[in-house]
């Protein structure tokens, strides 16, 4: 087409083509210059910029994916933390309940012990008191016998020292003492 058009223009009216400044050498030099521009941009210029754009796209996509992954991880982690916390709370509750139960049992045991000891002590005391009372009563009755014999001997001015009398008085005192106690 170049070969046809340029001579065609040149032949049809050499004046016109000369006036417009069209000539083969200038045409070819401009064609080659533009070819160089096209080749450079096509091979080096545009790929460089498109590569930058694609790199940025990749980086941004990666960033967005990472952010989403982090978000997902965070959700998971917080769910797990929640779970752990609930577990711990439940365990603590159980432990506390167990401890309370144990303490209750211990308290009951201690109370029972104390009751038993108190009972035992009371019984011991009562027994001792009774023992003491018996001894005191015996002492008292002997004293009363002696006293009544002394008094009777004074009254009757004679010694009531016979064994028979003594036995008599003791029997009397004892029976009166029993009657008094009843």
**Number of neighbours of residue 149 by Cβ within 10 angstroms:** 19
Residues 36-65 that bind another protein (CB under 8 A): 36-38, 40-42, 44-46, 48-50, 52-53, 55-56, 59
- Shortest distance, position 11 Cβ to another protein, whole Å: 16
Cβ atoms 10, 22 nearer than 8 A = yes
- Shortest distance, position 56 Cβ to another protein, whole Å: 6
The dihedral built from the CA positions of residue 128, 133, 134 and 138, taken in this order, carries a sign that is positive
**Alpha-helical runs (H) found in the chain:** 2-12, 14-20, 24-40, 46-156, 163-181
Residue 25 found at the interface with another protein (CB under 8 A): yes
Cβ atoms 170, 147 nearer than 8 A = no
Residue 33 found at the interface with another protein (CB under 8 A): yes
Residue 81 found at the interface with another protein (CB under 8 A): no
From CA 54, how far away is CA 24, in angstroms rounded?
Answer: 42
Residue 91 found at the interface with another protein (CB under 8 A): no
- Shortest distance, position 73 Cβ to another protein, whole Å: 25
Where on the chain is the footprint of another protein (CB under 8 A)? 1-2, 5, 15-16, 18-23, 25-27, 29-31, 33-34, 36-38, 40-42, 44-46, 48-50, 52-53, 55-56, 59
């Amino acid at each position: 087409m170049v070969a046809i058009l340029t001579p065609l223009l040149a032949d049809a009216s050499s004046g016109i083509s000369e006036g417009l400044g069209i000539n083969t050498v200038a045409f070819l030099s401009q064609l080659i210059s533009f070819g160089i521009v096209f080749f450079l941009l096509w091979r080096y210029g545009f790929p460089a910029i498109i590569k930058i754009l694609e790199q940025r796209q990749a980086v941004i996509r990666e960033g967005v994916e990472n952010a989403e992954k982090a978000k997902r991880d965070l959700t998971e982690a917080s769910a797990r933390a929640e779970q752990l916390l609930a577990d711990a709370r439940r365990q603590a509750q159980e432990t506390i309940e167990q401890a309370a139960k144990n303490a209750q049992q211990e308290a009951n045991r201690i109370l029972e012990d104390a009751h038993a000891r108190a009972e035992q002590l009371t019984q011991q005391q009562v027994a001792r008191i009774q023992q003491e009372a018996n001894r005191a009563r015996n002492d008292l009755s002997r004293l009363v016998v002696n006293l009544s014999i002394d008094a009777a001997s004074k009254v009757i001015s004679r010694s009531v020292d016979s064994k028979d009398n003594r036995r008599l008085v003791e029997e009397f005192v004892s029976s009166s003492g029993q009657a008094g106690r009843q």
